[in-house]
């Protein structure tokens, strides 16, 4: 395959990766606390053998995807079990696979009285234990520091953690993340807003604009491939006539 075709194909592959990320973002525009996926690319020079450096060509190379951790819009719901985090932090969730982390604060209470994440897993307190709400104990109050109480009875304090590099977190589904070997630290300068939920940080209009731009880029790369194919075909036909 000739170099122009290789370059165009590399561009198409990079555009396809970005289109996949954009499509996923649009699909999750209404998902609580969802963070946008972004794709970045590095460029590297390829110098064919026997040519000068002035003839080097630039190829796109897929770099590590990353999440845009910017906080989503916080909307009031009026539900006392809905909580949103203001600041860079995560709730800690106990699962059969170990601790997981989430910003989805659409909480509930299971049949045993435990405060649970949307998937039914217990939300842990600052002692890494589930928070249990006694039956019939009255209205639940969750203060800005995460303290949970009913009336005058304090039930525990929701644990909030942060990471030196939030990009180490990997999605595991249902709004949960795993941290691998990264060690969570107690979050600082964060607050909990009761009766509210954090929306996604997706801006659908911008995502649609990115999608159209990538579609045009893909088409342009395809035109290069087609043009190069036509050029090679005509060259072969001409050589055949000369022979």
> For 92-139, what is each residue's pLDDT tens digit?
999 999 999 999 999 999 999 999 999 999 999 999 999 999 988 889
Q: How many CB atoms lie within 10 A of CB 195?
A: 14
pLDDT of residue 217: 77
Measured between alpha carbons, how far is 12 from 7 in angstroms, rounded to an integer? 9
**Token pair 């217990």: residue:** 122
pLDDT of residue 151: 82
Residue 80 pairs in a beta bridge with none
> For 17-37, what is each residue's pLDDT tens digit?
888 899 999 999 999 999 999
pLDDT of residue 214: 80
Query: Is there a contact between 65 and 54 (Cβ–Cβ < 8 Å)?
Result: no
Query: Is there a contact between 110 and 137 (Cβ–Cβ < 8 Å)?
Result: no
Euclidean distance between the first and final Cα of the chain, in Å? 23
Query: Is there a contact between 167 and 93 (Cβ–Cβ < 8 Å)?
Result: no
pLDDT of residue 14: 77
């Amino acid at each position: 395959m000739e170099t122009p075709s290789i370059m165009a194909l590399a561009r198409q592959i990079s555009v396809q990766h970005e289109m996949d990320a954009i499509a996923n973002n649009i699909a999750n525009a209404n998902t609580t606390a969802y963070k946008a996926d972004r794709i970045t690319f590095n460029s590297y020079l390829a110098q064919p053998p026997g040519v000068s450096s002035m003839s080097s060509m630039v190829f796109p190379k897929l770099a590590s995807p990353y999440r845009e951790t910017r906080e989503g819009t916080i909307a009031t719901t009026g539900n006392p079990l809905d909580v949103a985090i203001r600041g860079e932090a995560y709730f800690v969730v106990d699962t059969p696979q170990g601790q997981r982390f989430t910003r989805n604060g659409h909480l509930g209470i299971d049949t045993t009285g435990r405060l649970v994440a949307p998937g039914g897993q217990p939300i842990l307190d600052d002692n890494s234990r589930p928070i249990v709400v006694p039956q019939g104990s009255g209205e639940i109050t969750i203060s800005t520091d995460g303290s949970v109480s009913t009336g005058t009875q304090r039930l525990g304090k929701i644990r909030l953690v942060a990471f030196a590099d939030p990009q180490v977190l990997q999605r595991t589904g249902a709004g949960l993340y795993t941290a691998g070997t990264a060690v969570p630290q107690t979050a600082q300068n964060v607050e909990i807003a009761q009766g509210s939920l954090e929306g996604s940080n997706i801006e659908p209009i911008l995502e649609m604009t990115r999608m159209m731009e990538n579609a045009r880029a893909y088409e342009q790369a395809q035109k290069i491939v087609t043009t190069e194919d036509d050029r090679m075909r005509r060259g072969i036909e001409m050589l055949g006539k000369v022979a």
